Amino acid sequence: MAWNVVIVGGGFGGASAARELERLLPKQSARLMLVNDVNFLLYTPFLPEAAAGTLEPRHVVTPLRDILRRTYLRLGGVHAHDPGARTVTLRTHEGEDEEVRYDQLLLAVGSVSRSLPVPGLDQHAIGFKSLADAIWLRNHVIETLEQANATEDPARREQLLTYVFVGGGYSGLEALAELQDFAADAMDRYPRARLHGMRWILVEATDRVLPEVPLDLSEYALRQLRGRGIEVRLGTRIEEAAADSTRLSTGERVPTRTIVWTAGVAPHPSLGSLSLPLDARGKVRVDEYLRVEGLSGVWAIGDCAAVPDPNKDGRAPCPPTAQHAVRQGPVVAHNIACGLGVETSPRRFGYRARAAFVNLGRYKAVGKLGPASFHGFPAWWLARSYHMSQIPGTARKIRAVADWTVGLPFSRDLAELGSIGHPRPLRAEVYARGGTHRPL
């Protein structure tokens, strides 16, 4: 009889666990299934570059079928779990429910943008977490430039050319830096908008940016951003978001049509319906062996799990990073194999993060590697080399290098491709009404 090992979530954690399980578990004794809502792994560190157009969207993802050899990939979302019957229920893309029995279950469902109860935020802000967010934002920035160049109304032009990012952690800062870089280059081809000039504003509630790196590097990053004309408002929150403005905690109302919310992540909401023990932040409670508390043969890793952080002697959970998720994958695979009697001596998760790099665009970055700190071009080069070694698949590595190389001698590509994935309707009257474009 073969065991059923079911993995829910095919991101950094789930995919790395599946690969290791393929290696550890004999083919005839284990059936591996991975359930994910898309058929690719998104390499999030390259998301800002996909938004800025320096990398093609397809080159920042790797098809899961290229990574996995014998794991059965099922597309869908798991939305129910019965620990007593040892089953999970997945909803396929056709909307059908299917019950899947497991002997060992691994949850690696990741996280989503963390929303706060700020009036208007859900309606008027966009997160920066998925490929759809990044590509939407790129098209939106191009659209604002187009409209700002065309309008005769100075107040409207002001709104269109003001971009507000909320949250000064690494993902927000990288997205802001890359997109501002892109827009600054693109401006040359929008003469009327260029005369007016753009405003890029970073709003951060605490008194510093980049809590992930030492203070001197965070200050270096701040100087770089301010040197480029980016307004950084520390100790400030947004208190309201509207279609054409946002109100800050200082009382200032900023006219804008772009609010990007990058103020942290929350565990994936699907966890709430999976009958699992959750901590106060909604993460799955696990021990240092990555076992879910109180459930035998159930494991959790990555952003969705409160894995005790060895760097903090287990007193706080690991930060939500890919670095942690990809190292938890092989540990949990080994421990699952122990649970099935293939391996002996379960392992504790003992990885201590020693490196952090943040890309600031324009060939600059800040970072630390062990005790050494880097900034400027050396940090950028180290970060890029590291990511090149990490993005899965030789084809993706070559495609990324090709994108960067081809991009060097040419100006930025301004094609606004928001209509991709939204086929034109056949009905003629839609065109008679003036087209299908969504207003900003």
Q: Using CB under 6 A as the criterion, which residues of the chain lie in contact with ligand FAD when the complex forms?
A: 8-14, 35-38, 44-45, 47, 77-78, 108-110, 128-129, 171, 268, 270, 302-304, 320-323, 325
Closer residue to ligand FAD (CB): 60 or 295: 60
Instruction: Output the six-digit token pair for 2.
Output: 């073969």
CB of 383 to ligand FAD, least distance (A): 8
CB of 40 to ligand FAD, least distance (A): 8
CB of 252 to ligand FAD, least distance (A): 27
Nearest one of 326, 359, 436, 331 to 51, comparing CA atoms: 359
- Sign of the dihedral defined by the CA atoms of residues 402, 403, 407, 413, in that order: positive
Q: 377-390 vs 394-407: helix axis angle to the nearest 10?
A: 150
Closer residue to ligand FAD (CB): 30 or 260: 260
Instruction: Output the six-digit token pair for 253.
Output: 């109302």
Instruction: Output the six-digit token pair for 71.
Output: 């794991």
Closer residue to ligand FAD (CB): 9 or 339: 9
Angle formed at CA 218 by CA 215 and CA 224, multiple of 5 degrees: 145
Closer residue to ligand FAD (CB): 230 or 248: 230
Closer residue to ligand FAD (CB): 71 or 270: 270
Say how far apart CA 249 and CA 270 lie, in whole Å.
33
> Residue 219 burial (CB < 10 Å; 0-12/13-18/19+)?
middle
CB of 144 to ligand FAD, least distance (A): 21
Closer residue to ligand FAD (CB): 163 or 190: 163
Say how far apart CA 302 and CA 290 lie, in whole Å.
10
Closer residue to ligand FAD (CB): 355 or 406: 355
CB of 331 to ligand FAD, least distance (A): 13
CB of 354 to ligand FAD, least distance (A): 12
Say how far apart CA 432 and CA 409 lie, in whole Å.
41
CB of 8 to ligand FAD, least distance (A): 5
- 301 Cβ contact list (under 8 Å, min separation 6): 13, 14, 17, 106, 107, 108, 286, 290, 307, 325, 328, 329, 332
CB of 247 to ligand FAD, least distance (A): 26
Closer residue to ligand FAD (CB): 110 or 339: 110
Q: Could you tell me where the DSSP H helices lie in 315-373?
A: 322-339
Select the residue whose beta carbon is closest to ligand FAD and give its number: 11
Which 3 state secondary structure label does DSSP give 273? helix
Closer residue to ligand FAD (CB): 143 or 178: 178
Closer residue to ligand FAD (CB): 9 or 392: 9
Beta strands in 173-315 (DSSP E): 199-203, 231-233, 238-241, 245-248, 253-255, 258-261, 265-267, 284-285, 298-300, 305-306
At residue 4, what is the residue type? N
Closer residue to ligand FAD (CB): 303 or 403: 303
Complete DSSP assignment for 100-143 = EE-SEEEE---EEEPP---TTHHHHEEE-SSHHHHHHHHHHHHH
CB of 91 to ligand FAD, least distance (A): 9
Beta strands in 132-248 (DSSP E): 162-166, 199-203, 231-233, 238-241, 245-248
CB 109 within 8 A of CB 270: yes
CB of 67 to ligand FAD, least distance (A): 12
What does residue 381 show for φ and ψ, rounded to 5 degrees? -65, -40
CB of 396 to ligand FAD, least distance (A): 15
